[in-house]
A and B are shown apart, each in its own frame.
Chain A
């Protein structure tokens, strides 16, 4: 059975015709739809448009931070990590405790992300590995983990939502031409770009990245070349958890952290990677942009059904490009 799997190209995640191959077409449709909403609203308010786009971009930044970890784990381990939202939650809570204890935001960010990475690594080594090669049971284990994490975080940090707070340096607004916007949210977008760039360099320009990419394409052949695949898998799982933990602190610093955020960010990750294309970091970036922008426009123009609109985007994308915007179409 594993031979069948290994011999099958990755595109067989989706069996079916690829009717439309234009990524651009889908993006254009989305942008046009948003534009139509603006026109329909009759609002020519440039400031509103600017703020909406900025909100979309900063949300996209946060979504990318979280979803890139999800897509990395999927791409290499073929594990649908349904505990990814729990990593976000744990990251946020640990970050809050660290910020509360030390006062340093940077320490909270790095410390929490590392702690979550360790947690993920441990989970992968102790549990996931035992059902290696069986993606469904691996996903089921991650669900079990998410149930446990939700209950334990509730008993440790309680039910109230906790605000980590933005770093003092960024805790104000800037004004350009009457446009008022939060510095922190813009910085968050910067952080996402930074992380994206680092991931790109890691994957494209380092030996580890090369190995990871080889592992995504064909783990069996990779193993025959002498690479210690199990160690690499653990490392990537840890990296994915690290990114989720990072997202938890980054998000919890301006949106606060509370019970229920785990399901929310798991869902965001799913949307982003399904829209963007599974296993691809650039796909995650494209998916995050689309989801973030559509969500922010929908909240302005169709507030009651904004959540449904983002799902609608997913369904439209799937109908035309089952492999996602930038999914492999080999």
Chain B
């Protein structure tokens, strides 16, 4: 188990879009995100888009770990839950100022992430997956049983949303832009980290731990720090979620939610970090609208998930990219300069 699954790591298929088109795509997406609050129905805007923003932020911590560290962590829901609980408990029962509560929540979650990382980072591959699943469930039971702090099954209700200077974040539009900024900062931070020396060491360790060690890296430290960085992002997602819902309870971090986050990462594809938000959007839409169509929507989501895992290692974007290249092959046309023929795709790492 020295290396990670190649299929999930591949980033070949996404390169079918040339730079020019990627810019266009980016402008369209960014433009849409900026005007979304003014063009979407309130429900879609709040319940789908804002929800996807924080859910995607939790999921991107997993995407990051899979993409750059080869670690499939099922403890991310636990970590985001801890941040949410600490924030909620401090601000509701102890009257601590919301921003301070949030900082405390993120700090505690990151300390926890370091501990979990220290425990689990020695393991690799599926063994890591199992350990983190066990840790995640431990945190769930902790939330359920430790009533003095977590208030058991009912959780903590009535978490107030703070304001940023004179801006009331409890207004959905303001909250949306704040969440958008937070998500963008997380994305930026993670991709910057991946190119920093520690991030490169993380990738070296993923690809060949023996060689990384021979080069003088300490694999355990590199992995624990990487895990902690992902923990920061998951914790930010946790704070966003508890403000968004105004509530946190054990159901926020149970196995179902763990699976949701995993489904998001897989649907969105791990080739690019942004995929996490796309995955979150897809899952939110599926959950809300398929449940209107059939009582078996859980089965439908399960089958879609199986289909994506089977058919496309890069999630839905990967499948879309394959479809585009297939279309191109069907429509014979002189390739635009700079486009990569499908046969010369970059080999999976």
Number of A-B contacts (CB under 8 A): 137
In the complex, which range does the number of interface residues on chain B fall in? 35 or more
A302 nearest CB across to chain B (Å):
10
Indicate which residue in A15, A82, A148, A270 contacts B122 across the interface (CB closer than 8 Å).
A15
Query: Are A1's CB and B310's CB within 8 A?
Result: no
Query: Are B134's CB and A267's CB within 8 A?
Result: yes
Would A151 and B302 be within 8 Å (CB), given that A131-B309, A137-B309, A318-B119 are in contact?
Answer: yes
Say if the beta carbon of A165 comes within 8 Å of chain B.
no
Would A308 and B124 be within 8 Å (CB), given that A1-B3, A16-B220, A270-B133 are in contact?
Answer: no
| Interface pick from A5-13, A194-202, A243-251 | A5-13
Within 8 A of A (CB), among B65-92: 72
User: A interface, by DSSP: helix, strand, loop or mixed?
Assistant: helix
A119 nearest CB across to chain B (Å):
15
In the complex, what distance in Å separates the CA atom of A14 from the CA atom of B130? 12
Query: Are B306's CB and A145's CB within 8 A?
Result: yes
Residue ID in chain B nearest A144 by CB atoms: B306
Would A311 and B138 be within 8 Å (CB), given that A136-B5, A136-B8, A319-B119 are in contact?
Answer: yes
Would A152 and B299 be within 8 Å (CB), given that A140-B262, A267-B134, A322-B122 are in contact?
Answer: yes
B4: chain A residues at CB < 8 Å are 136
Say if the beta carbon of A135 comes within 8 Å of chain B.
yes
Say if the beta carbon of B171 comes within 8 Å of chain A.
no
In the complex, which range does the number of interface residues on chain A fall in? 35 or more
Say if the beta carbon of A278 comes within 8 Å of chain B.
yes
Query: Are A151's CB and B309's CB within 8 A?
Result: no
Query: Are B3's CB and A4's CB within 8 A?
Result: yes
Query: Are B145's CB and A305's CB within 8 A?
Result: yes
In the complex, what distance in Å separates the CA atom of A216 from the CA atom of B174? 56
Residue ID in chain B nearest A136 by CB atoms: B5
Say if the beta carbon of A150 comes within 8 Å of chain B.
yes
In the complex, what distance in Å separates the CA atom of A322 from the CA atom of B121? 11
Query: Are A148's CB and B302's CB within 8 A?
Result: yes
**Chain A to chain B contacts (Cβ below 8 Å), 15 pairs:** A1-B3, A4-B2, A13-B125, A14-B127, A15-B219, A131-B7, A136-B7, A139-B72, A140-B266, A143-B305, A304-B145, A307-B145, A308-B145, A315-B119, A318-B131
Please give the residue numbers on chain B whose beta carbons come within 8 Å of chain A beta carbons, in ascending order. Answer: 1-8, 72, 119, 122-127, 129-131, 133-134, 137-138, 141-142, 145-146, 209, 219-220, 255, 259, 262-263, 266, 295-296, 298-299, 301-303, 305-306, 309-310, 313
